[in-house]
Amino acid sequence: MRVLLCLILLLLTTKATCDNRKIVIAFEPFPPFITEGKEGLTVDMLRAIEQKSAFRFDVRLMTYSRAKHELKYGRIDIAGHTPKGLETATFYQYALELDWQIQTTSDLFSFDQQYLNIDHIKPKRIGTTAGNATFFAQQLGVEPDIFVEVRTLHQLVDMFIKGRIDVLLFERSSVMTLLAEKDIYGIHYQSIGLIPASIAVSKDEEGTELKKQLDEVIKTLDLDKIFSGYLQYIYLPSKGVTSKFQVNY
């Protein structure tokens, strides 16, 4: 009887595990895709995936550099957001991105228009968040040591407003959202190019299977509806000056 009971409990436990597969996913705060409150457009997509699958997502916040580190050593299942297909060669030795992507633009922001010319920027006077300097340096064709990296986007925006850096480089909608929250406008901005954002799993057998399953579920979602609120940022001119009536915050 005891053996039978143990077998039943084992089967029930196994079924519960299969029916509710917990996936640990780590993000750098990246509004409107992921906010400090663990909400946002990408989280909306994850919740939609949960409605159509056995996946259950444990969303955690950390710097992008730490998220990549945790993925590399198998302590999380997914890291994001990644610049799809554009990360460093080292990253792709241990990471594999989903087929899913959304087009974003990373922009230079400055109170002084002259600094939109990269040649005018002094070393350590251009800021971005931790884990992004190498990638952005490659995009701009400069050395990574021109950057100062800050742990969070909120800290980076505060440094920018206080004049501790001359230029801020990060994804457009995230920066514009935070500046608008602080009622800061009149900032010169210029896109450095469209950069597709995605999320990545581990480049191993388990990660490859996870990617396959998630890609299949995502194909069934109405992504245009989920991410419709973001399009206002992409449709802005490639360069300009931020204003209160630029987008419908």
CATH of the domain at 92: 3.40.190.10
Same domain? 10 vs 81: yes
Same domain? 219 vs 170: no
206 within a domain of the structure (yes/no): yes
Contacts of 43 (CB under 8 A, 6+ apart): 34, 59
Same domain? 15 vs 28: yes
What is the reported pLDDT for 11?
47
Same domain? 78 vs 168: no
Same domain? 151 vs 166: yes
240 within a domain of the structure (yes/no): no
207 within a domain of the structure (yes/no): yes
Same domain? 46 vs 84: yes
Residues of the chain with pLDDT under 70: 1-19, 246-249
Number of independent structural domains in the chain? 2
248 within a domain of the structure (yes/no): no
For 52-73, the pLDDT digits (tens) are 999 999 999 999 999 999 999 9
Same domain? 124 vs 95: no
Same domain? 47 vs 159: no
What is the reported pLDDT for 13?
46
Give Cα 100 distance to the centre of its chain. 13
Same domain? 181 vs 214: no
Same domain? 18 vs 87: yes
Tell me if 197 sits within 8 A of 42, measured CB to CB: no
Same domain? 134 vs 182: yes
What is the reported pLDDT for 232?
82
The position carrying tokens 């730490």 is: 66
For residues 82 and 5, give the distance between their C-alpha atoms in angstroms, rounded to a whole number: 47
244 within a domain of the structure (yes/no): no
Q: What residue numbers bound the domain in which 75 lies? A: 2-102+199-234
Contacts of 214 (CB under 8 A, 6+ apart): 49, 55, 98, 100, 201
Tell me if 196 sits within 8 A of 104, measured CB to CB: yes
Same domain? 134 vs 93: no
188 within a domain of the structure (yes/no): yes
239 within a domain of the structure (yes/no): no
What is the reported pLDDT for 206?
97
